[in-house]
Structure 1
Amino acid sequence: MHVIVDLCVVPLGVGVSVSPYVAECQRVIEASGLHYRMHAYGTNIEGPWDEVMAVVKACHEEVHAMGAPRITTTLKMGTRTDREQRMDDKVESVDNLRRA
């Protein structure tokens, strides 16, 4: 099953700046080969369900390995069975209506 997720991983107990942890998650996501797009408060990732969930798990493992004692994650996800849809399709659909 194809899934599109919006992932926001926040390490707790590591101080004010979390950029090094976010950067590590981005390395994990990039290494997966999945299509993704980072934004100001998270990252959209799309692909087969099991592969995307494995990346979410790997992000947690890496952030814990960096010393974060706790992590809070927000995960929004969507799947469709009526047709295939990608992240870019969703954005393009809204952009087309906005320009009309």
Structure 2
Amino acid sequence: MLVAFSVAPSGGAGGGDSVHDAVAAAVAVVRASGLPNHTDAMFTTIEGEWDEVFAVIKDATDAVGAFGTRVSLVLKADIRPGHTGELIGKVERLEQALEREAQLD
């Protein structure tokens, strides 16, 4: 399965609107997990089996909790049993489709 998630603190001291330190703590947890992952400007996507992916997301959420009194968590999952390598495979298939489309123009 693939799970894209975004996690951010709120309600902390300091009143700033930047959450990069909290996000860095979450991404460090994800990267330390050893599971395939990708981080972009909005989400971190992680690939693996249900229990291992959600254990990492819980740990990442806990890490962000240290930065505020509340935590916001957004999840989107692609549950496709029997498929692996989709973190890269889906993007490769998209790029191939774009190339085919460009050749038709």
Gaps of 5+ in 1: none
Q: Map of 1:34-73 to 2, 5 A cutoff?
A: 34-64=35-65, 66-73=66-73
Cα displacement (A) at 1:60 = 1.5
TM-score by length of 2: 0.85
Q: For 1:10, what is the secondary structure of its paired residue? A: strand
What value does the CA root-mean-square deviation take over the aligned residues? 1.2
Q: Which runs of 4+ in 1 moved over 6 A?
A: none
Q: Which has the higher strand share?
A: 1
Identity of aligned residues (%): 35
Alignment of 1:1-100 (within 5 A): 3-14=1-12, 15-64=16-65, 66-81=66-81, 83-85=82-84, 86-100=86-100
Unaligned stretches of 5+ residues in structure 2: 101-105
2:103 matched residue in structure 1: none
